Amino acid sequence: MIGSPDTPSFNDRQLDAIREAGNIGTGNAATALSGLLSRRINMDVPKTELVSIYELAEHYGDPLQTVGAVFVRSTGGFQCSLIFIQPEQDAQLMVQLLLQNQFGGSAIPAGEIPQEIYDSALGEVGNIVLSSFLNAINLLLGTQHQISVPGTAHDMLASILDVVASIYGQLGETALLVNTELSAEGLEDGRRISGHIIMIPDPESLSLLLRKLKVI
């Protein structure tokens, strides 16, 4: 059992093990994104963080900032929810780059990409990034998994993170976040595309992960 339901607590070895799983997932996600965009992708060292559910938005930035987000649910041996979240302008730039990359020709100005195509492309990139993340973790754990169709949203950071707060809120007041940032370089004008992957493991899957990594 991981802590009591209302106060999750982990020792340093457990937090390290969870972070290592995140690291393996992120490496795979970065490779996939790099292939899609034909750009070098940097990843920072993932963090395992325990954050108050009441301060999630502030933890990531300005609660009113507009972000693009892709959400998937993974079921099977290791059950979890995953979110890929980006500042809206980064999401737009990423989709622009993807379309240019996949179909050739010159860049379509971001504002001229029809919303439907933009959403569907964003959902697909998020899906590939998050599936790659999950494939690596399931390979590590020796589990099988199925991933849902991606859901996309463009909205205020605080509204998007309500999803995370309501999942953890049913268990207590602390969210365990496996958090990592990817960024693309080699863009014109020194522009940057960055995105966060947030993994929210179900409690029993977290136990499984700690058992498999022999830290429980």
Partner 1 sequence: MAENSIVLGMADLMVVSAPIKLVTLGLGSCIGLVVYDTLARVAGMAHIMLPDSRGLKTSEKVGKFADTAVPALIEEMLRKGAARPRIKAKIAGGAQMFSLPGASAEFLTVGAKNVAETKRRLHALGIAVIASDTGGNKGRTIEFSTSNWMLKVKTLGKGINEI
Q: Which residue in 25, 87, 126, 150 binds partner 1 (CB under 8 A)?
A: 150
By CB under 8 A, is residue 155 in contact with partner 1?
Answer: yes
Number of residues that bind partner 1 (CB under 8 A): 36
What gap in Å lies between CA 158 and CA 29, rounded to an integer?
Answer: 25
What tokens were used for 207? 């136990």
What gap in Å lies between CA 28 and CA 192, rounded to an integer?
Answer: 20
Residue 181 CB, nearest approach to partner 1 (Å):
21
Tell me which amino acid residue 77 is.
G
What gap in Å lies between CA 103 and CA 36, rounded to an integer?
Answer: 12
What gap in Å lies between CA 190 and CA 181, rounded to an integer?
Answer: 18
By CB under 8 A, is residue 120 in contact with partner 1?
Answer: no
- The site map against partner 1 for 70-109 (x = CB under 8 A) is -xxx-------x----------------------------
What gap in Å lies between CA 121 and CA 39, rounded to an integer?
Answer: 17
**Cβ neighbours for 174, distance < 8 A, ≥ 6 positions apart:** 7, 8, 50, 51, 52, 53, 168
Q: Which residue in 167, 187, 215, 216 binds partner 1 (CB under 8 A)?
A: 167
What gap in Å lies between CA 48 and CA 177, rounded to an integer?
Answer: 6
By CB under 8 A, is residue 151 in contact with partner 1?
Answer: yes
By CB under 8 A, is residue 50 in contact with partner 1?
Answer: no
By CB under 8 A, is residue 63 in contact with partner 1?
Answer: yes
Q: Do residues 37 and 97 make contact, with C-beta atoms less than 8 angstroms apart?
A: yes
Closest CB to partner 1 among 97 and 130?
130
By CB under 8 A, is residue 156 in contact with partner 1?
Answer: yes
Residue 37 CB, nearest approach to partner 1 (Å):
24
Residue 63 CB, nearest approach to partner 1 (Å):
5
In 3D space, the residue among 41, 31, 19, 14 whose CA is nearest the CA of residue 179 turns out to be 19
By CB under 8 A, is residue 6 in contact with partner 1?
Answer: yes
Residues forming the site for partner 1 (CB under 8 A): 6, 53-57, 63-64, 66, 69, 71-73, 81, 148-163, 165-167, 169-170, 173
